[in-house]
Amino acid sequence: MTVQSQRQTALVTGASGGIGEALAQRFARGGYDLVLVARTEAKLQALGKELTTKFGVRAHALPYDLADPASPPLLVEKLAAQGVAIDILVNNAGFATYGPFAENDLDGELRLLQVNIVTLTHLTRLLLPGMLTRRRGRILNVASTAAFMPGPLMAVYYASKAYVLSFSEALNNELQGSGVNVTALCPGPTSTGFQARAQMEQSRLVRDRKIMDVETVADAGYSGLLRGQAVIIPGLMNRIQAAIPRLLPRSVVPQMVRNAQDRAH
């Protein structure tokens, strides 16, 4: 474990499982104190105790439903009241819906946009000024290889991740010379509870390929963030997948993705 002379604090959203939990573990191993945010308080408390015992770091468990528009300002107010400054913001919380847009539940699609786009943007805007004042900070936004292409049967999810990638790259450019950098982490399909929640376990995208484990994704995100890398795509096949749509006629790409997204028979 690398213990820093002046310990910094990383805030991780969606920390109760999957990539978020793996990132929290990785930052704790690096000697960072943690603020863990998700809906499930029991899971956060258990993870916080584990990280404190294992790595000797402080871990604050703050349960918030990030689909609630009121959550970002309430969360930041809570941090201010506790005197906690955030050095690293990890916007990991997110989820997907699966199926034809016209048939999907509208409330689910709007909650997806709130979590994947609006809350990510809101938290970034609220926490960025403190980083700029200190002239030190890092922001890791978890996007996806979905960001590089349109995604029939997951249209809103793919579009949300395109926003995250575009926003991250633009903001990273704006912040040059400020002491703050922004990184977009773009994993491909990863072994988490994500696919089950989206009800897409039977899609060819999941069934017909070996998918990456969360620890590999978290390690890539952590090391790339600390190097100041703007975009991280873990794994050679994922990098190829992200590049292919740029080489094909745009009219071909949606059907290509649709074929991969369809349920396997």
Q: Closest Cα partner for 96 from 210, 196, 1, 4?
A: 196
Q: How far apart are CA 169 and CA 141, in angstroms?
A: 10
Which positions are annotated as active-site residues? 157, 161
Contacts of 191 (CB under 8 A, 6+ apart): 211, 212, 213, 214
Tell me, what's the pLDDT at 179?
Answer: 98
More confident residue, 78 or 203: 78
Q: Closest Cα partner for 263 from 208, 194, 197?
A: 208
Percent of the chain with pLDDT over 70: 90
Tell me, what's the pLDDT at 191?
Answer: 78
Average pLDDT over residues 135-140: 98
Lookup result for tokens 């995100």:
221
What are the tens digits of pLDDT across the range 45-55? 999 999 999 99
Q: Which CATH number fits domain 9-261: 3.40.140.10, 3.40.50.720, 3.40.640.10, 3.40.50.410?
A: 3.40.50.720
> Helix count (H) and strand count (E) of the chain?
11, 7
Average pLDDT over residues 170-186: 98
Predicted TM-score (pTM) of the model is 0.90
Mean pLDDT of the chain: 92
Q: How confident is the model at residue 192 (pLDDT cuts 50, 70, 90)?
A: confident
Q: How far apart are CA 110 and CA 122, in angstroms?
A: 16
63-76 per-residue burial string, b: 16 or more CB within 10 A, e: under 16: bbbbbeeebbeebb
Tell me, what's the pLDDT at 16?
Answer: 95
Helix segments in 106-249, DSSP class H: 106-113, 120-134, 155-174, 194-197, 204-207, 214-227, 236-247
pLDDT of residue 119 exceeding 60: yes
Q: How confident is the model at residue 261 (pLDDT cuts 50, 70, 90)?
A: confident
Tell me, what's the pLDDT at 58?
Answer: 97
Tell me, what's the pLDDT at 47?
Answer: 98
Q: How confident is the model at residue 254 (pLDDT cuts 50, 70, 90)?
A: confident
Distances, alpha carbon 91 to alpha carbons 14, 248, 263, in Å:
8, 31, 30
Tell me, what's the pLDDT at 205?
Answer: 53
What are the tens digits of pLDDT across the range 12-28? 999 999 999 999 999 99
